[in-house]
Amino acid sequence: MQKTHYRILFACLLFSASWLHAQSVNTTFGKNRVQYHKDFEFWDKYESDNFIVYWYGRNRYLAQSAIQIAELDHNEIRKIIEHRINDKIEIIVYTDLSDLKQSNIGIEDAFSNMAGQTKIAGNKMFIYFDGNHQNLRKQIREGIASVYLGAMMLGANFQEMLQNSVLLDLPEWFVLGVVAFAGDPWNIYVEDELRDVLARDRKMWKFNKMADKYPELAGHSLWNYVSQFYGKSTISNIIYLTKISRDLKGSFQFVLNKSLDRIIEEWEQYYRQLYKNEEGLFDSFDEFAQFKVSNKKYIPVSIVAPSPDGRLLAYVTNQQGKLNLQLKDVATGKQEKLFKKGFKNSFQETDYNYPLLAWKSDGSEFTFSYMNKDDIILQKYDVRSGEMIRQALPKPVQRIYSISYLDDRYYVFSGSIEGVSDLFLYDSKEQVLLNITSDYFDDRDAGVATLNGQKGIVFASNRPVEHILPNRLDTLVPLKNFDLFFYPFEGAKDEFAMKALPKFLTKLTFTPNENERYPLAVNDHTIAFLSDKSGFVNTYAYNFNNDVITPLSNVSRNIIRHGASINAKDYYYVVYDDGKYKVFQRKMDYTTPVNPTYTEQKKSYSQLTEADLVRKEETEVLKNGYKFQSRFSDPPNIKAIDEEDIQPIVSTNLNIKEQLTDISEKKTIEFNSTQITASGFQFKFHDVVTTLDNNVLFEGLELFGGQNPQINQIPMGILLKASASDLFEDYRLEGGVRVPTSFDGSEFFLTFDNDKHLIDKRISLYRRSLTEENSGEINPFTKGKKDIILGMYQLKYPFNIYSSVRAIGSLRFDRIYQKSINQETFNTPIEREKRLGLRLEYVFDNTFDYNLNILHGSRAKFYLEAQNQFELDAIDGFDFDLSKGFTTIIGLDARHYIPVLKHSVLAMRGAAAFSMGSKPNLYYLGGVNNSVVNTFNQNTAVANKDFGLVGLANNLRGFNPNIRNGTNFALVNTELRIPFFQYILGKNKGASFFRNMQLVGFADAGLAWYGFSPYSDENPINIEYVDGGLVQLRIKYFRDPLVASYGLGLRTQIFGYFVRLDYAYGVETRIIQKPKFHFSVGLDF
């Protein structure tokens, strides 16, 4: 009885959950990371009580800011999550988004595009600088919350991981909502998105509907509601109770004394009433004033820049990295596409910072900037001649955020050097860069303006001072909101002249609770800018003459970007409304104010003024020398309190939502920036996997020969695999061993990847030894061994994230011998073959995993391979032959996935290979990949040729392998995959068995042949020779080389394995065959 229990336990372990990626089809595709520079060569680190921050190059100040911000917010976020971890959180700091995209960390999974979420891999987070420390802080807060939530859900030890993976199945809205709430409890951008979603789709008022389509937004809005009406501490209590009880609904009931369904009803009622109260208070968007631009799918418009005379409008559309710069004649409506660059990239965060654009004051030309690999390019366009002049900015510049003409030769821009955002003067003729500001504050949106005859620079900054004296980061991190400043700047064109200029600024706005951004000079005394003062980003004007700020718009959506012509008074602005990016045009009167409507959040802040503070009644101050009776003795050394240290006690009694900028400078931690440590190699083991599979490793082919010339499908085996990588995943080592369940063979492999630089390198070693039984009539009970030793070296050059070329050199040793059981088998010679190969591949892959085995997009591999068999033997004498046989293969495998019926996909595949040479390869058509039951068709003859290697050509269901064979094959597969339970339960809902169950209708067709034509006499399926003694008969049949099949299948996930069951009818020579079942393991085709 006890032995039976052990056997059951062992069987369960074999079928325990495993990595599904290990069960992919034989053809490997994959996306890429492209390193355009070598800045990642050396890394340093800072370490504090809770964090380790890694940085490279000249990002020391950025790393210092990151670790100070992380320690500042750490305790608060940990209290929200109510969880602790033993390890320090690792923060990888990148100069900008472009560098982050070049990192190898996380490869595909961590860098899928999730609407700007901080990227996480284990206890590592990846952050980048965009010139704004507020955004940096938001990234860090989200990262800390994600790491803690991940540790809470997965556990710190094996027991916790096992329990949590089974029981703690939290909905997506819960996790993403908590992370977003921790990053920023609420802000105008989340509110703007929520309003638009609820306004355009009534179904979204049902929380579950919104949670399915917009899980982060739904969760964030719900936690915001709970925080306001039940207190922020209740969120911590709900999370903590959910962790220990593993019951989300019960946690809401216990903490709030209300069911989750009731809280959701209150959520709906609250937002309905909130937005109903605002009806009619905002200006409606006049559809007739909408300016038509070429964004048929309403893709983002990142720049609108009218010419100074208002005659032309330059604008940029950015469709997930696919850039188009258009120039439109406002009067005639004619437009011209001047520049396009990039491609759609839905896997990485879109960089909306580029292109930047600035018009020359006379409207004769404009300059736009963009990134080309790792270079910042300035491209000047002459409107009259159409000529373009291109130049690259000097290398010290890491990123620019705005650009403006100073004159014909000089530009003013804001940008980053050494991880600090400053203002710069750029001489385009000499290509010399000079600092205007040199401090640690964030300087953005610089533009040249002439106010009351004084030329200067207007810009946005979060500096608390009104000067530009050099200042380096110490203990205070610039986290305040942005105000507008004006710096008189005229005539200084070299370093000495700039040093002589005054360093004092004119502060145009004083708003500690609002952000003012994107200033534009619209006439000689007025600046138009965007501000979130009302709770929406609206347009305001600052009059330099009377120091008055005038609100100019009152719309119910955030204005994303704006542009204005100085002479024509044309004003353009971009909003996201009704799920679309729209451009509006209006004649703007910069002196006529509108009455702005304030959101509830901003109303709370506006009430917090000195007049509204309720002072407690002042009482008489006790004088020194008064005595008190007490049964306690006086404590020693009482320090007297000075009157000037006594502050009045105030109470606001307001329900004010927290903002990230509400921070006291005294809370910032002190940090010793001199404690720098070099970051050496830190290899860690991870991904230790034990699984059961029969995948073909290294896309290997079998040697044609031995007792059974047909291919032996790899038997099911126990695979133990482990991998280790360095901290930045530039180097990766993976090794494994697989033993068949029959325990009559073994496989070992070892791979080492070096992806640190542009060209990725891989070294692979593989050894396989399998036993095969003789199926022939001679010595039917004998067994043979097939041994393979394979070494490979691969170089990969990525063009972009989707496409790459690869060169693979290989050295292969095959050995086939008989196991000796008698004299005949003892005398059987050992067959040895050695091959040297070179394979060139082009790989394209832009597929997106919508769900398990449901992909969208396309992927393809085209390859050209040459193999040379040689002989070098010094055991039985010396034998050397440079070429005993040569093989050339041309092949492809292309797949396309079309989404249909919302959750389903139509998957199509075409594969082919053409083998030539003195020892061509042999392909057996039929069967399925990773079949659990190994079968073979012995009835189809093989041509009498000298073959090199042999392989399977599948899938062709309805037949066993070898329904056709040849040195060439072509195959097409079509599948309609329908996850029918997702239409009933919803996406990603229900148990894994039902959630991933798919009904599949399929059709296959293929052929394999010899020579140039499938219909030639060279193919043995059509010719049979009969020896009649004196006469030899040659009988010719007609058997159509094309075979096909159709049928139905079922797919689902069981114990972590994706299993496939197909019921197929084969069609051969136009005759439908008896149906056949196929049972296999693996994803896709």
For 749-760, the pLDDT digits (tens) are 999 999 999 999
The two beta strands, 356-359 and 964-966, are unpaired
For 720-757, the pLDDT digits (tens) are 989 999 888 899 999 999 998 888 889 999 999 999 99
Beta bridge mates, 414: 402, 423
- Phi, psi values for residue 936, rounded to 5°: -150, 140
- Phi, psi values for residue 931, rounded to 5°: -70, 140
Q: What element of type H or E holds 70?
A: helix 60-81
Token readout for 649 is: 């006690």
Closest of 545, 541, 458, 540 to residue 505, by C-alpha: 458
One DSSP character per residue, 284-308 reads: PP-GGGEEP-S-TT---EEEEEE-T
What's the confidence (pLDDT) of residue 605? 55
How many alpha carbons lie under 13 Å from residue 45 in its C-beta half-sphere? 19
What's the confidence (pLDDT) of residue 780? 58
pLDDT at 292 over 80: yes
In this predicted structure, which of 245-254, 546-555, 826-835, 869-878 has the lowest mean pLDDT? 869-878
For 664-689, the pLDDT digits (tens) are 444 556 667 667 787 777 888 877 88
Distance between CA atoms of residues 844 and 842, nearest Å: 7
> Residue 763: how many CB atoms within 10 A of its CB?
14
Residues 775, 778, 783, 788: what is their CA dihedral angle, to the nearest 10 degrees? -80
Q: What element of type H or E holds 154?
A: helix 133-154
For 390-435, the pLDDT digits (tens) are 999 998 899 999 999 999 999 999 999 988 999 999 999 999 999 9
Q: What is the 3-state secondary structure (H, E, C) of 82-141?
A: CCCCCCCEEEEEECCHHHHHHCCCCCCCCCCCCCCCCEEECCEEEEECCCCHHHHHHHHH
Distance between CA atoms of residues 941 and 952, nearest Å: 16
Token readout for 634 is: 């006086």
What's the confidence (pLDDT) of residue 625? 47
Between 697 and 870, residue with greater pLDDT: 870
**Percent of the chain surpassing pLDDT 70:** 85
Cα end-to-end span (Å), the chain? 42
Between 935 and 358, residue with greater pLDDT: 358
What's the confidence (pLDDT) of residue 858? 95
Closest of 1007, 1004, 1008, 1006 to residue 1078, by C-alpha: 1004
Q: What is the mean pLDDT of the segment spanning 103-130?
A: 70
Token readout for 914 is: 């053409």
Distance between CA atoms of residues 72 and 68, nearest Å: 6
Question: Which whole-number Å values give the CA distances from 399 to 34, 64, 562, 627, in the listed order?
Answer: 18, 19, 22, 67
Closest of 543, 541, 546 to residue 530, by C-alpha: 541
Q: What is the mean pLDDT of the segment spanning 343-355?
A: 91
- By the 8 A CB rule, do 958 and 995 touch? no
Token readout for 945 is: 């040729």
For 865-904, the pLDDT digits (tens) are 999 999 887 666 667 788 888 999 999 999 999 999 989 9
DSSP state of 829: P
Q: Which domains does the chain have, with CATH numbers?
A: 32-168+650-676 (3.30.2010.30), 681-838 (no CATH), 846-1085 (no CATH)
In this prediction the pTM is 0.85
One DSSP character per residue, 636-657 reads: SSPPPPPGGG----EE----PP
pLDDT at 692 over 50: yes
Distance between CA atoms of residues 207 and 227, nearest Å: 17
Token readout for 609 is: 């003024």
- Phi, psi values for residue 1070, rounded to 5°: 65, 15
